[in-house]
Structure 1
Amino acid sequence: MLGRLADALGHRGIRLYPARDSGVVRDVLVAAGDEAMLAHAHPTVEAAGTAARVELDEADGPDR
């Protein structure tokens, strides 16, 4: 389900930044076949937010 959401949002130029992939969440993602989401998971919400800001800054380029 999250994998489909990430794909649908990705087609609109929106990226998910998953955080805190606890054991239960990890198990559910694997069982649902969405384990690819785990490759992009961040250890904390703050880390996910930082990654999003960095990506936005890079997309804006040096002339920002």
Structure 2
Amino acid sequence: MKTIKLNIDDSLYKHIKTVMNIKAMCGHFCGEIDEFLFLLIKNIEDNQEEITIERSKDTK
């Protein structure tokens, strides 16, 4: 199993974490979810890869 790291901004990070938490509770995607995000997560899971989500280290 390989790990996929996504470096994303804070608001997208929070959104993805919320989506993943809801999926963990429901067993499937619930509510509104961005189609790109759904396909990304589904593809990663179908390939038995682990998702590691990290916030960008932008220092402005």
Both structures adopt the same fold (TM-score exceeding 0.5): no
Q: Based on CA coordinates, which of the two structures has the bigger radius of gyration?
A: 1
Give the TM-score normalised by structure 2: 0.27
Which has the bigger relative contact order, CA under 8 A and spacing at least 6?
Answer: 2
Structure with greater strand percent: 2
